[in-house]
């Protein structure tokens, strides 16, 4: 009995020890992570410690280092292959339309253009469009009213009340001047019209049984057809103004995003994923122009894409800095490899580079913000520069630089050409906008 | 006899409890990243003020 008990207690103890050990391993994962600030602040100490711990490097660590080096190479390659964004910037600039060009495409004649300009000065384009929508709706309501009254008169109903309401609606229609009606007047009129329409509807409900209403609706449809020209004219005027407003809004919004992208390029950064977002925005704008998407749908898509551009833009700032660091690290890695092939002891250098590589690998959007990217990259870069100063590497790196210098010079010339082309286009676009604004005035 | 049954019961309960604890820890490690990555957004364009064709509604006459 006693034996059995001691076996069981023993088993229990073993189980508890095993479980505690497992939990500790899990918890210690965080502790192994050293804050970046500590690594950077204790540069010299870290170097000394690295030397001391050199002998302790086992096979597993070597494997990790190689993995990190591969990752750094991947960052470098990915960056080299990714798009600069110049192409999409150029495309957007080529497609950019002036106010005059949009008006011409929408077939807005001089008289309409003058009315729109007057409205913009008085009440703004948005209010003008709402006024035009209201005028068109009231006109259609009076046509429906007439059709209903005519039908009911044919059936010898008393239509005095309905005629009175419809006359009031006609008066309101005449009084609406789309280019001068203010927001307050608009709201007041809408309230008044809604009340009259409801009154008319209630009066019809009192007079006519439900089963007769389908016949009235058919009569309305036929009557509307006889007034289709007037309705279409009102609709067309509203459509032109609305399209002008929406297309100008999209053009200006895309222009703002493009200018931001251009600034990134001017600062020598690639757009990376932000280029894709810019391309999507351009596609959405063109879909609206072609009439394959309506304003409600486009508004949502536009908000989503501009938000995604903002995210991609911030990420690209960080990724650009990271890529430049990766390029620097790759140069040092090559020099270390050469030294190793010449039978020099490179263990310490490899360890120092591995530390820097780990920091570069950790230099990602989300962990580093676009605002702090420059400063943080400068700290890592100073570590790279320090490493480059090592006597085993300096000559090798200089020799490698001398080899790539002609290529770099050619690239620099190309970049300068791109920048000046962008600047020229920017100046031309400003001149165009200035001219179109002048025209408007 | 009674004591041994108690001990066996205790061991069983303990092992279930310990196993549950271990699983929770593993789950936490999987679901919670060690460093919270918050996407950063830079607003570059103001909201577009698009107008739809049906902004004004006055109701129906019938």
pLDDT at A416 over 60: no
pLDDT greater than 90 at residue A11: no
What is the per-residue pLDDT across A138-175, written as a single tens digit (0 to 9) for each? Answer: 999 999 999 999 999 999 999 999 999 999 999 999 99
Closest CA to A134 of A95, A104, A173: A173
Q: Which of B22, B38, B55 sits opposite A23 (nearest CB)?
A: B22
pLDDT in tens, B5-24: 887 888 788 888 877 766 65
Query: Could you tell me which chain B residue has the CA closest to the CA of A217?
Result: B62
Nearest-CB residue to A314 (from B41, B54, B56): B41
Confidence of residue A36 (pLDDT cuts 50, 70, 90): very low
| CB contact at 8 A, A351 and A57 | yes
| pLDDT band (50, 70, 90) for residue A63 | low
Cβ contact B53–A216 (<8 Å):
no
pLDDT for residue A424 is more than 50? yes
Instruction: Identify the residue whose tokens are 């023993």.
Output: A10
**Residue A430 vs residues A245, A423, A434, B26: alpha-carbon distances, Å:** 21, 11, 6, 59
pLDDT over 70 percentage in chain A = 76
Which H helix or E strand runs over B12?
helix B2-31
pLDDT of amino acid B45:
73
Q: Residue range A267-279: average pLDDT? A: 95
Residue A441: pLDDT band with limits 50, 70, 90: very low
B37 reaches A (C-beta below 8 A) = yes
Instruction: Give the separation between CA A140 and CA A309, rounded to whole angstroms.
Output: 43
Over range A236-245, report the average pLDDT: 97
From the CA atom positions of chain A, what is the Rg in Å?
Answer: 37
Instruction: Judge whether residue A417 has pLDDT over 90.
Output: no
The beta-carbon neighbor of B59 closest among A194, A253, A254 is A194
**Contact call for B29 and A26, based on CB within 8 A:** yes
Check whether B29 has a pLDDT greater than 70: no
Query: Over 80: is that where the pLDDT of A67 sits?
Result: no
Summary mean pLDDT of chain A: 84
Lowest mean pLDDT among A353-357, B26-30, B43-47: B26-30
Q: Provide the shortest C-alpha distance from residue B16 to chain A (in Å).
A: 11
3-class DSSP state for residue B4? helix
Q: Hey, what's the torsion of the CAs at B50, B53, B55, B57, to 10 degrees?
A: 180
């Amino acid at each position: 009995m006693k034996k059995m008990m001691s076996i069981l207690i023993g088993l229990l103890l073993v189980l508890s020890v095993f479980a505690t050990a497992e939990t500790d391993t899990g918890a210690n994962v965080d502790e192994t992570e050293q804050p970046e600030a500590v690594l950077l602040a204790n540069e010299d100490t870290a170097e000394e410690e690295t030397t001391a711990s050199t002998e302790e490097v086992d096979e597993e660590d070597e494997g990790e280092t190689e993995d990190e080096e591969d990752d750094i190479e991947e960052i470098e390659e990915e960056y080299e292959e990714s798009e600069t964004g110049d192409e999409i910037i150029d495309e957007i600039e080529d497609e950019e339309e002036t106010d005059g060009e949009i008006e011409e495409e929408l077939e807005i004649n001089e008289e309409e253009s003058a009315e729109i300009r007057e409205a913009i000065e008085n009440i703004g384009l948005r209010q003008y469009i709402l006024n035009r929508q209201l005028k068109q709706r009231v006109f259609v309501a009076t046509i429906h009213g007439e059709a209903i009254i005519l039908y009911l008169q044919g059936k010898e109903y008393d239509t005095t009340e309905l005629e009175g309401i419809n006359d009031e609606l006609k008066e309101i229609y005449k009084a609406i001047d789309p280019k001068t009606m203010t927001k307050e007047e608009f709201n007041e009129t809408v309230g008044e019209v809604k009340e009259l329409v409801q009154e008319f509807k209630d009066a019809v409900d009192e007079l006519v049984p439900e089963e007769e209403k389908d016949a009235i609706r058919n009569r309305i449809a036929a009557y509307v057809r006889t007034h289709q020209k007037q309705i279409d004219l009102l609709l067309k005027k509203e459509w032109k103004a609305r399209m002008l407003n929406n297309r100008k809004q999209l053009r200006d919004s895309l222009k703002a995003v493009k200018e931001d992208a251009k600034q990134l390029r001017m600062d020598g950064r690639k757009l990376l994923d932000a280029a894709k977002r810019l391309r999507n925005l351009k596609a959405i704008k063109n879909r609206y122009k072609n009439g394959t998407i309506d304003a409600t749908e486009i508004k949502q898509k536009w908000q989503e894409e501009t938000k995604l551009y903002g995210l991609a833009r911030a990420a690209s700032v960080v990724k650009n800095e990271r890529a430049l660091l990766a390029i620097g690290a790759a140069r040092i890695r090559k020099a270390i490899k050469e030294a190793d092939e010449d039978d020099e002891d490179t263990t310490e250098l490899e360890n120092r580079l591995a530390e820097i590589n780990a920091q570069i690998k950790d230099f990602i959007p989300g962990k580093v913000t676009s605002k702090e990217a420059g400063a943080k990259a400068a700290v890592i870069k100073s570590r790279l520069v320090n490493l480059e100063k090592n006597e085993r590497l300096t000559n090798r790196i200089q020799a490698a630089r001398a080899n790539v210098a002609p290529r770099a010079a050619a690239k620099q010339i190309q970049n300068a050409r791109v920048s000046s082309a962008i600047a020229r286009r920017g100046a031309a676009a400003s001149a165009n906008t200035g001219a179109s604004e002048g025209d408007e005035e | 006899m009674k004591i041994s049954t108690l001990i066996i019961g205790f061991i069983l309960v303990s092992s279930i409890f310990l196993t549950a604890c271990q699983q929770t820890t593993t789950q936490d490690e999987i679901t919670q990243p060690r460093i919270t990555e918050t996407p950063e957004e830079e607003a570059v364009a103001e909201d577009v003020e698009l107008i739809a064709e049906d902004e004004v509604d006055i109701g129906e006459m019938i």
